[in-house]
Amino acid sequence: MEAQRGHTNRRRFLLIAGLPLLTVGAGLTYLMWPEPGPRPEVRTDLEPLNRRLGPFLGELSDAHWLGYDIDDKGDDRSIPSPDSRIRVVGVAHLPAGGAAAITGRPDHAFAAAGAPSDLPAALKGYLPAAATWQHSPGFDAYANGRGAADQASDGIPSGRYLFDTARDLVHFDVLYLFT
């Protein structure tokens, strides 16, 4: 009888101690599991950026960017959407004095802005922490209108542009809608 009580106590202990450990282990596995969908690679090629953004930003250099379909789930079993939404997001250098030339135009009324939000993790290392960003909704409208007029076959753009005049940097986050 005493031996049976020892087995019962041990089982009770293992149940009480093991259940929280299993729960924590399952929770950590869930949190660490890779997200489904595409993992775009950071690109450095300039031709696609200069074709789309160059007409209103100038010749870009030293770019780090991503371009991907935000609706792509990464599985072959889903039905493709009739509309594609391609996000082009990144950072690039402008020609010397280019950021100051754009932000200095009074018709766009640039103002101080915070750091870019919703930045993909793969790009975080390419934006300087000490950058002083400037933004203008007026410039966004101008650039999106120029992009739509100049590049109608490349989708309808909707984007946001931030400039750092000290480093001649532009951060762009543009969504192209293809219908």
pLDDT given for residue 76 in this prediction? 54
pTM of the complete model: 0.72
pLDDT, averaged per 10 consecutive residues of the chain (179 residues), comes to: 62 71 65 57 94 92 93 59 81 96 94 91 93 96 74 72 96 87
pLDDT given for residue 40 in this prediction? 74
Q: Strand 156-164 and strand 134-135: pairing?
A: antiparallel
CA pair distance 119, 80, nearest whole angstrom: 26
pLDDT given for residue 80 in this prediction? 56
- The CA-atom distances, in angstroms, between 157 and each of 47, 50, 141, 162 are 17, 15, 10, 16
pLDDT given for residue 29 in this prediction? 63
CA pair distance 120, 45, nearest whole angstrom: 18
> In this structure, are residues 163 and 169 in contact, taking their beta carbons and an 8 Å threshold?
yes
pLDDT given for residue 7 in this prediction? 64
